[in-house]
Amino acid sequence: MSDIQLVEAPPGVEGAGFFATSLDKAIGLARSNSLWPLPFATSCCGIEFMATMASHYDLSRFGAERLSFSPRQADLLMVMGTISKKMGPVLRQVYLQMAEPRWVMAVGACASSGGIFDTYSVLQGIDEIIPVDVYVPGCPPRPEAIIDGFIGIQKLVQTESLRRRNTPEYQKLLASYGIQ
């Protein structure tokens, strides 16, 4: 069954009919095309993000041209670059300051797994401190890969139920990170 259905106008009613869908789907569609990313860029992957935002790749085609440098006004945290253990608490604080619903992308090998920096001072993936929704591989990932990850986030947003954030499973996920 399609998410959006065309309902014919009943006999005697003027017009071609109307589209019907669920509230979940309608809000998901609106949200997914108006995400406000917060770029948390600490090193080289951030340069690829600049290319992703520039005119050639143009992330604004997906409704995400409005970057937010305030966590209060962002719903997608894009982490790009090496995250040292000293930087970890700052990143976590930024995540905590974002309101629900919020999503997280780990862009590049460093943010996803520590990358080549298998060393005492570097987090071996930001999912050690915050939940991650989409991982983008690469060192660095090309803008096409970042866009692919962004589309992955859009699909998640479109299919997520409005009730997910109140489910015991989601609360359990947050609790596993020590977040109430």
Contacting positions for ligand SF4 (CB under 6 A): 43-45, 81-82, 108-110, 115-116, 139-140
CA distance 110 to 85: 12
Give 108 or 143: the residue with its C-beta nearer to ligand SF4. Answer: 108
CA distance 155 to 177: 24
At closest approach, how far in Å is the CB of 45 from ligand SF4? 3
User: 66, 64, 72, 76: which is closest to 40 by C-alpha?
Assistant: 76
CA distance 67 to 76: 10
At closest approach, how far in Å is the CB of 110 from ligand SF4? 3
Give 30 or 50: the residue with its C-beta nearer to ligand SF4. Answer: 50
Give 110 or 123: the residue with its C-beta nearer to ligand SF4. Answer: 110
At closest approach, how far in Å is the CB of 111 from ligand SF4? 7
At closest approach, how far in Å is the CB of 147 from ligand SF4? 16
Give 124 or 158: the residue with its C-beta nearer to ligand SF4. Answer: 124
CA distance 70 to 150: 20
